[in-house]
Structure 1
């Protein structure tokens, strides 16, 4: 390959809007590795659901663009689909609860089944890569960026569940990428906005944040995503995505696969490295695949220019491209996954929420509300879904005790929560620490299946077997009725 072709093979760009033709032309012109699909690239129907036929047309067009130059291996058609808050494609595809559900359920095979089912629906739409799972070990409410995206506050649990979910993705036909090395769950800043600093000692990192990544490496998983956080013990002030010391640590752990950066258009990078200057720096440091530079043409030119000046050794660029191409050749040899129709995992999604739901305070048996209740909080869609699930469970809505839904960023101190008889955290369970409600429930999701699980517990038709995967105020990990 020429330098220009090699530079293309290490770039995975995004694009704005629904014009896949323009993106396909860019992919072909710059010899790019493929494309990542974000929420605004997903074609929709008049009822708000995903137009799955049009989505398949988009991925096929982008895939064709990657092979227009005679490539024999598939291009990378990627998405961020974790479940919960990070879900680029929603109904009619199965909606999955937050990954913390797996930690609350404490069931690695269940996480694997979910990964397989999620991957199978995406594979049917032409995707072959999912930047999931997030294996960051959360430290609790001070963790602003990860929250319920984390599987657990326990390193060993996050490791087992993360490997299980990733292996499920592989079984369903998608390449997984564990993220965000060396662990975004124990820093307080959000790298979408600024650069977090990890001040842990090397021993603290080895015994906590790095544990899930070591497990992923030992399991032979193909990709590790580096995060935009500076590790003081390795290279102070420099994001791991552009830090040679961070990549050296990753390789010293035995990783031989593709090291992929978190999105290069995030605030932690763009402020310090304008005009996509981070692209050649990340490659020189040890990255193999660069995700979402702010302007892919500028990043491509920066990489080519850095090779010409010698600031990026030609051999390092070739090594990075070889890793990416080798992985995609392997993926191509496995054959395209047959896939499953949209919504095939709905019953499994409901089962996961039923296994995860956690009663933090209140009775562990019997009905938690009488035959009628009032609903407050959450979004309009949350309330509508909950009301429908309540009706199916035999609970009417309009009078009786108040059940308050607390969504992402919500507070148990909100006016509608003050008189709640039942407080329900829909995402991370942290708001329950401040709730005075006599009954407090962690749901870890706002899917139809999650609300069905909630309604069954409130009606006394089902138990709540889940246990807290991380501490919530005075309640230690493991608290719950299960």
Structure 2
């Protein structure tokens, strides 16, 4: 692979609108980005969603490496599936059953939804412990308020997703449950040290790592007692020393969206991109703005050419990315619009067990 192709693999990007526009096509064909994330704004109905995903894959035929087609499909309020699907309840509701089997079925049903429509990566399960009642961003997205509850249910969901050939991405390391600010808007600050995190927030992530978690998303949260200068997503201490080092994590590290307020209000985006790579991240999520993707791409390319990042460092990340794509045997093959009758019936039957 050329250097440019390798850098492309490290970018996972968002697109505008519900169809393949010129900028989306350019990011895929020219910058050879490694993946796409779709949000609610990209999705109208089942037919439109499948058509868009097929177009994205078709435009990638100039590249030998298939795309990650990713989404946040958690259930509850964070659901991207169109209205043709019977809804999946929140993690809090499922966690309230204390039934590991039902959580695994949840993962399987989510995986079936995604695999049937062309996705291959899901930013789930949420492994945050809901330890702060005033948290504006996690709340019912968490399985519970104890590490044991979150670990058990989260690992079960992860297993269910895997069983359908969908890559699970555990999030939001090192733990978003004790924040009081929404990182989409501002930079949360949590005044806990490593010893405190080790007793609660880290436990579900450590359990997932022991269960061979393939990918982990790192949050934009500042832990001044651990790293006073950089949020977790940009921190050599948190990603390099703690996650990679102390926890021995060898899988793919993905940043939360670098265009969120937590980053762009406090840091230069181009500099943040370089910081996160130096910290140990493999995939940079740039979810909004073609200009932002181009800025990040060009900055990484320039940094390798001027020697501030070695090409061998890029190779480390690309090897992890390609290994993950190979493990899940990703393909850019188009899919027909699925018949949801059986899947929706299975979701209804599962929901009866959740709400009984």
What is the TM-score normalised by the length of structure 1? 0.68
Q: Secondary structure at the match of 1:13?
A: strand
Q: Cα–Cα, structure 1 residues 275 and 237, in superposed 2: closer, same or farther, change >3 Å?
A: closer
Q: Secondary structure at the match of 1:176?
A: strand
Measure the CA separation in 2 of the matches of 1:225 and 1:338: 28
Which of 331-340 and 200-209 deviates more? 331-340
Structure 1 equivalent of residue 208 of structure 2: 216
Measure the CA separation in 2 of the matches of 1:110 and 1:337: 31
Which of 308-317 and 241-250 deviates more? 308-317
Task: Give 5+ residue unaligned stretches, structure 1.
Answer: 45-49, 357-452, 454-463, 465-482
What's the offset of the Cα at 1:327?
Answer: 0.6
Structure 2 equivalent of residue 25 of structure 1: 26
Structure 1 equivalent of residue 340 of structure 2: 342
Task: Give 5+ residue unaligned stretches, structure 2.
Answer: none
* Larger proportion of strand: 1
Is this contact kept in 1: 2:218–2:253, CA < 8 A?
A: yes
What's the offset of the Cα at 1:34?
Answer: 1.9
Is 2:53 the counterpart of 1:53? no
What's the offset of the Cα at 1:317?
Answer: 1.4
Q: Cα–Cα, structure 1 residues 109 and 142, in superposed 2: closer, same or farther, change >3 Å?
A: same
Structure 2 equivalent of residue 36 of structure 1: 37
Is this contact kept in 1: 2:13–2:287, CA < 8 A?
A: yes
Length, aligned pairs only: 349
* Cα deviation digits, residues 122-160 of structure 1 (max 9, x gap): 111111011111110011421111010011101011011
Structure 1 equivalent of residue 322 of structure 2: 325
* Cα deviation digits, residues 78-135 of structure 1 (max 9, x gap): 1110011111113212311111112101011111111111111211111101111111
Structure 2 equivalent of residue 301 of structure 1: 298
* Cα deviation digits, residues 275-309 of structure 1 (max 9, x gap): 44322221111100011254211110011111122
Is 2:247 the counterpart of 1:253? yes
Is 2:106 the counterpart of 1:118? no
Q: Secondary structure at the match of 1:280?
A: helix
Measure the CA separation in 1 of the matches of 2:27 and 2:195: 45
What's the offset of the Cα at 1:19?
Answer: 2.9
Measure the CA separation in 1 of the matches of 2:206 and 2:231: 20
Structure 2 equivalent of residue 103 of structure 1: 95
Measure the CA separation in 2 of the matches of 1:338 and 1:104: 36
Q: Secondary structure at the match of 2:90?
A: coil
Q: Cα–Cα, structure 1 residues 302 and 115, in superposed 2: closer, same or farther, change >3 Å?
A: same
Q: Secondary structure at the match of 1:12?
A: strand
Is 2:277 the counterpart of 1:262? no
Measure the CA separation in 1 of the matches of 2:181 and 2:141: 16
Q: Cα–Cα, structure 1 residues 352 and 232, in superposed 2: closer, same or farther, change >3 Å?
A: farther
Q: Secondary structure at the match of 2:200?
A: helix
Is this contact kept in 1: 2:258–2:269, CA < 8 A?
A: no
What is the RMSD of the two structures over their aligned residues, measured on CA atoms? Answer: 2.2
Greater length-normalized contact order (CA 8 Å, ≥ 6 residues apart): 2
Measure the CA separation in 1 of the matches of 2:161 and 2:335: 13
What's the offset of the Cα at 1:233?
Answer: 3.3
Is this contact kept in 2: 1:100–1:152, CA < 8 A?
A: yes
Measure the CA separation in 2 of the matches of 1:35 and 1:338: 17
Structure 2 equivalent of residue 395 of structure 1: none
Is this contact kept in 2: 1:180–1:226, CA < 8 A?
A: yes
Which of 168-177 and 333-342 deviates more? 333-342
Q: Cα–Cα, structure 1 residues 198 and 345, in superposed 2: closer, same or farther, change >3 Å?
A: farther
Q: Secondary structure at the match of 2:216?
A: strand
Q: Secondary structure at the match of 1:77?
A: strand
Q: Cα–Cα, structure 1 residues 352 and 230, in superposed 2: closer, same or farther, change >3 Å?
A: farther
Q: Secondary structure at the match of 1:137?
A: coil
Structure 2 equivalent of residue 9 of structure 1: 9
> Of residues 212, 217, 230 in structure 1, which corresponds to 2:222?
230
